[in-house]
């Protein structure tokens, strides 16, 4: 273990080479993850969240490449050979993905699949691996007798918990949960998120939670990174970002999801769509959807400024942030997108 950070992503840029031109889906992203910390990577569909994860563990398609640094335990993962990266994937950085529920093989008992996963990476006897699987089922709250069941005998929520057990089976240093609960109903979703959070605390592993839902982040994370169109627009502690959102996009995202504390707030969605990443604007990428856009926003990409301890924002209008916050809470504000309101 070296350094303060377990994972340090510096100026990560990832490009997909498509027929009609290059798509820089991730464009200059910095992320710092500390030991034992849980970080929420949040933003609308298509903003580059999954691309960041695929870049970290080098699972990009052939016609894609990354630049920059992804330092994990002192090594730049982008420079490792495929055989070296395979030793890290799953073993040290494990993924619970969007489609994980379908990744259990229907013809094998769930327990055997966990045992198999453990024994592929660790030189242990079957019996020892089975005890580990029992221990993990206890941790995720499923009776160990159910290890003998087939996946179809599990509910969706149980299947997802079994996948989490599998992801934890090798004591990874980082658990990446990529939209782990989107396919589940709200009640099960909340139970699973609580469980993930408890487990992460108990095991003291670090976590990256990828989601489009701000309330999921509020429930499970300590730190937040808000992405928009391939760039980080705001990052900081959950308290800081929720109490004092400083980028209009974060303010908009907060409006769009029900409060986890159950406070009644009016849900307001952000009108419009993110820009085409094949031809991104020169200025702030959120400018054409932002109610506070000025000429400067259209012309120059804003610098990242630290507004509070470890709370960083890329917006030209931080001098009027309080006024923006007040206005952003009203639906009418978002109906005037593109007109200088402050
Ligand atoms: N294989 C690919 N070839 C070309 N472009 C791609 C490819 N995969 C993703 N993209 C583009 O990269 C951008 C980022 O996609 P990515 O899947 O990382 O976003 P995301 O935030 O994870 O979205 P979602 O929440 O929908 O998964 C999108 O504009 C997408 O169209």
pLDDT of residue 339: 55
Looking from the CA of 309 toward its CB, the CA atoms found within 13 Å total 1
277 C-alpha to ligand 1 centroid (Å): 10
Interface pTM, i.e. ipTM = 0.97
Distance (angstroms) between ligand 1 centre and the Cα of 65 equals: 14
Angle at 269 between CA 264 and CA 272, to 5 degrees: 170
By C-alpha distance, which of 181, 232, 199 is closest to 26? 232
Contact 199, 165 (CB under 8 A): no
Q: How far is CA 13 from CA 28, 31, 285, in A?
A: 5, 12, 16
Ligand 1 centre distance from Cα of residue 47 (Å) = 7
Query: Domain ranges in the chain?
Result: 5-221, 246-334
User: Which two three-digit tokens encode residue 74?
Assistant: 């002192």
> Looking at the domain 5-221, which fold is it?
Rossmann fold (3.40.50)
List the pLDDT tens digit at each of the 342 positions of the chain: 456 899 999 999 999 998 888 999 999 999 999 999 999 999 999 999 999 999 999 999 999 999 999 999 999 999 999 999 998 988 899 888 766 556 789 999 999 999 998 998 889 999 999 999 999 898 888 999 999 999 999 988 888 889 888 888 888 999 998 887 776 777 777 777 887 888 888 888 899 999 988 888 888 899 999 999 999 999 999 999 999 999 999 999 988 776 656 666 677 888 899 999 999 999 999 999 999 999 999 999 999 999 998 999 999 999 999 999 999 999 899 986 555 555
CA 185, 191, 197 angle in degrees (round to 5)? 130
**Ligand 1, atom 6: closest residue by C-alpha:** 16
Nearest CA to ligand 1 atom 28: 46
Q: Is the CB of 337 under 6 A from ligand 1?
A: no
48 pocket-lining for ligand 1 (C-beta < 6 Å): yes
In DSSP terms, 10 is beta-bridged to 69
Residue closest via CA to ligand 1's atom 7 equals 16
E strand spans, the chain: 5-18, 21-34, 38-42, 64-72, 75-76, 93-96, 174-178, 206-211, 223-228, 231-237, 305-308, 311-313
Give yes or no for residue 46 CB within 6 A of ligand 1.
Answer: yes
Q: What is the pTM of this model?
A: 0.90
Task: Provide the pLDDT for residue 256.
Answer: 79
Q: Is 7 exposed, middle or buried (0-12, 13-18, 19+ CB in 10 A)?
A: buried
Nearest residue (CA) to ligand 1, atom 3: 16
Q: Is the CB of 59 under 6 A from ligand 1?
A: no
**Residues contacting 52, CB < 8 A, separation 6+:** 9, 12, 14, 26, 29, 31, 41, 227
Q: Calculate Rg over the CA atoms of the chain.
A: 21
State both tokens at 200: 């992460």
**How far does residue 296's CA lie from ligand 1's centre (Å)?**
28
- Start-to-end Cα distance in the chain: 48
Residue nearest to atom 31 of ligand 1 (CA): 46
**Which of 265, 272, 312 lies closest to 290, judged by CA?**
272
Q: Which of 13, 15, 19, 23 to mutate to test the pocket of ligand 1 (most atoms within 8 A of CB)?
A: 23
Listed residue (2, 51, 54) closest to 23, CA to CA: 51
- β pairing state of 38-42 and 93-96: unpaired
What pLDDT score was predicted for residue 100?
59
């Amino acid at each position: 273990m070296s350094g303060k950070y377990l994972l340090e992503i510096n100026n990560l840029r990832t490009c997909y080479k498509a027929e009609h031109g290059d798509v820089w889906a991730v464009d200059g992203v910095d992320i710092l993850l500390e030991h034992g910390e849980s970080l929420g990577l949040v933003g609308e569909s298509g903003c580059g969240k999954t691309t960041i994860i695929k870049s970290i563990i080098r699972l990009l398609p052939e016609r894609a490449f990354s630049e920059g640094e992804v330092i994990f335990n002192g090594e730049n993962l982008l420079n490792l050979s495929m055989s070296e990266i395979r030793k890290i994937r799953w073993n040290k950085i494990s993924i619970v993905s969007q489609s994980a529920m379908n990744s259990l093989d229907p013809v094998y008992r769930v327990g055997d699949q966990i045992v198999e996963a453990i024994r592929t990476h660790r030189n242990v006897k079957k019996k020892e691996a089975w005890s580990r699987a029992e221990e993990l089922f206890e941790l995720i709250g499923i009776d160990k007798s159910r290890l003998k069941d087939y996946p179809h005998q599990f509910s969706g929520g149980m299947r997802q918990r079994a996948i989490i057990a599998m992801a934890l089976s090798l004591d990874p240093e980082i658990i990446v949960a990529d939209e782990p609960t989107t396919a589940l109903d709200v009640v099960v979703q909340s139970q699973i998120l609580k469980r993930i959070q408890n487990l992460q605390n108990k095991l003291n592993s670090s976590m990256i939670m990828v989601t489009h839902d701000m309330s999921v982040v509020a429930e499970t994370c300590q730190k937040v990174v808000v992405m928009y169109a391939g760039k980080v627009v705001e990052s900081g502690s959950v308290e800081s970002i929720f109490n004092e959102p400083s980028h209009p996009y974060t303010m908009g995202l907060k409006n769009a999801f029900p409060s986890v504390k159950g406070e009644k707030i009016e849900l307001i969605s952000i009108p419009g769509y993110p820009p085409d990443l094949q031809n991104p604007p020169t200025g702030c990428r959120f400018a054409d959807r932002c109610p506070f856009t000025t000429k400067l926003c259209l012309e120059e990409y804003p610098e990242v400024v630290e507004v509070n301890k470890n709370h960083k924002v890329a917006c030209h209008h931080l001098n009027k942030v309080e006024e923006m916050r007040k206005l952003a809470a009203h639906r009418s504000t978002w109906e005037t997108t593109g007109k200088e309101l402050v």
